[in-house]
């Protein structure tokens, strides 16, 4: 088999296809590059890894400058990563630009997570890069990662990472809850995405009256995918037992006075400077997630 001629033919066919069939050019490019990756992998097995250098020099002259060594090596990487039976069914659902961002990921389950997230949330290449850079998968609770691996049902709290990254564009020193609150409100969209997405903003310092006293929920959100309100409480200190009681009180109020019959039970997210796993274990509430925050 003449591997070079086969590769050259596929690249030329794809160049023609891209110009004519605009509506499906990305999918065809991904399929073509996957096949070339397979050929390069086989050729390397027969003739050695230097075959990529040899082929790239000829392809640059005969097909185009973009088919350099780096590009061919990525095609081979792409094939190796996605020839796996678990991953291969996903191999044509994103653009080549997305896959370039994904090639650095070695863990199979992490790779599947980012592919599925990109497809479900229609992420751009830049958005995908940001998620990978922020180590979103690594920040998910271990239980959540196991649920994803075994395809178990995911709840709202499962998708809340730890720590939660809060953007601090002005590099201010956060020493009060008010300052932390303000940072979040300055980029509320980014904050809602950090909490797993599918959130809509209801209110800040949301006023509720319990007995004859006014109380204020730091941030009230609504998760439209899971059809429930989300109470967010902010603390700039280490976790304390009484914080759970405070969040639970607000959640109960929302359930009794705000939510509709069609809504699911309210959940709570308590964000603090430092968690205390030992204390949390003994005062846990399944509806409340306790997470640390980190300024970035």
H or E element at residue 39: helix 25-47
Assigned fold of 155-295: Trna Endonuclease; Chain: A, domain 1 (3.40.1350)
pLDDT of residue 20: 65
Residue 80 has a pLDDT of 93
The Cα–Cα gap between 92 and 264 comes to 36
Model's pTM, two decimal places?
Answer: 0.88
Can you give the pLDDT at residue 282? 66
The confidence score (pLDDT) of residue 133 equals 97
Contact yes or no for 80/28 (Cβ under 8 A): no
Predicted confidence at residue 37, as pLDDT, reads 97
- Residue 149 and residue 152: Cα distance in Å, rounded? 8
287 CA to centre of own chain: 23
Q: What is the pLDDT of residue 22?
A: 59
Strand partners, 136: none
Identify the residue whose tokens are 């300024």: 295
- Predicted confidence at residue 154, as pLDDT, reads 93
> Which two tokens mark 186?
């300055």
Q: Rounded to whole angstroms, how far apart are CA atoms 292 and 28? A: 44
Taking the C-alpha atoms of residue 177 and residue 257, their distance in angstroms, rounded to an integer, is 26
Terminal Cα-to-Cα distance of the chain (whole angstroms): 53
pLDDT at 90: 73
Residue 201 β-bridge partners: 221
Distance (Å, rounded) from C-alpha 167 to C-alpha 181?
Answer: 11
All structural domains of the chain with their residue ranges? 3-139, 155-295
pLDDT < 70 positions in the chain:
20-24, 91, 278-284
């Amino acid at each position: 088999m003449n591997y070079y001629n086969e590769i050259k033919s596929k690249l030329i066919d794809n160049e023609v296809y891209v110009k004519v069939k605009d509506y499906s050019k990305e999918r065809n490019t991904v399929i073509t590059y996957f096949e070339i990756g397979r050929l390069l992998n086989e050729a390397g097995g027969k003739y050695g890894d230097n075959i990529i250098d040899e082929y790239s020099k000829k392809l640059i002259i005969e097909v185009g400058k973009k088919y350099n060594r780096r590009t061919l090596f990525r095609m081979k990487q792409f094939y190796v990563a996605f020839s796996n039976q678990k991953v291969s069914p996903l191999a044509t659902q994103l653009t080549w630009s997305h896959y370039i961002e994904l090639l650095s990921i070695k863990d199979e389950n992490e790779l599947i997570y980012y592919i599925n997230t990109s497809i479900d949330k229609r992420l751009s290449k830049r958005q995908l890069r940001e998620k990978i850079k922020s180590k979103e998968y690594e920040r998910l609770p271990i239980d959540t990662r196991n649920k994803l691996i075994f395809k178990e049902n995911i709840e709202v709290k499962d998708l809340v990472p730890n720590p939660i990254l809060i953007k601090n564009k002005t590099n201010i020193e956060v020493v009060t809850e008010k300052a932390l609150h303000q940072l979040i409100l300055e980029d509320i969209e980014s904050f809602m995405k950090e909490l797993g997405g599918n959130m809509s903003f209801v209110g800040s310092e949301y006023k509720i009256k319990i007995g004859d006293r006014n109380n204020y929920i730091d941030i009230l959100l609504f998760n439209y995918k899971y059809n429930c309100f989300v109470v967010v409480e902010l603390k700039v200190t280490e976790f304390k037992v009484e914080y759970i009681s405070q969040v639970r009180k607000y959640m109960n109020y929302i359930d009794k006075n705000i939510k509709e019959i069609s809504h699911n039970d309210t959940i709570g997210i308590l964000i603090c400077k430092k968690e205390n796993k030992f204390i949390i274990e003994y005062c846990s509430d399944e509806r409340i997630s306790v997470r640390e925050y980190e300024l970035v």
